[in-house]
A and B are shown apart, each in its own frame.
Chain A
Amino acid sequence: MIDIQLLDTPLSVAQCSQLVADPAAGGTVVFVGTVRNSTQARTVQRLDFEAYAPMAIKEMRKIAEETMEKYGALKCAIHHRVGSLDILEIAVIIAVATPHRKAAFAACKFAIDQLKETVPIWKKEIFADGEVWVSAHP
């Protein structure tokens, strides 16, 4: 089972962990990515996320499929937020359930690492005195 969502409303950790619940699972790892209040000693006020939605959903699905296959996962949910997010808000949740715990940790790490590489979503850091698109420049 794979559940992919790109939402402009708050994400739910409870919902994601419920979505991947499986009687054959011995381990579930849920990664929660949140908005941090600083970057390189500058105070961040909020993050603005935008996505090329249809492709972002496709790419997240590919990652979930690869995660399932590579780590023998039973279920995988990837939910990503778009829009303007305040400090502490959840930007992404990845939940993976596998028969044994070791694979669940590895699978979840693989999925978030891949997401950061390939999914067409962009975040802009908003400071008191300016804005920066994250990772845009070397």
Chain B
Amino acid sequence: MQISVIAYGIAKDILGQRRLTFEFEGDSIGQLKTALIEQYPDFAKLQSLSFAVEEEYQQDDYPLSDQLEVVIIPPVSGG
């Protein structure tokens, strides 16, 4: 499926852009994560890698649908 990925912090550097249409095999956050790491191995080096949909953190089993907007949340460092 095709989803719209938005990246912040180091995730934006790894993707090379803020927004990207990403195509992959699967229909969950977990599968998206696997596909992203496969294509951009630098994601595997991060301390953690989380995802948000509709401004909420979502777990690996969260179901994705075509054209959904998913935000990549690399390790946060506010404060």
Chain A contact residues, CB within 8 Å of chain B: 33, 49-52, 54-56, 58, 80, 91-92, 112, 115-124, 133-138
Contact = CB atoms under 8 A, between A and B. Distances in A.
A137 B9 contact: no
Interface in B19-71: 45-47, 52, 55-57, 71
Nearest to A31: B79
Instruction: Give the interface size bracket for B toward A.
Output: 20 to 34
Interface of B: 6, 8-10, 13, 45-47, 52, 55-57, 71, 73-79
A119 B52 CA distance: 12
Contacts of A33: 79
B1 to A, nearest CB: 23
Nearest to A82: B78
Contacts of B78: 49, 51, 56, 80, 91-92, 115-116, 119-123
Contacts of B13: 133
B47 A137 contact: yes
8 contacts: A58-B55, A117-B76, A118-B76, A121-B78, A121-B79, A133-B77, A135-B77, A136-B74
Contacts of B6: 52
Nearest to B47: A138
Given A33-B79, A52-B8, A133 B55 contact: no
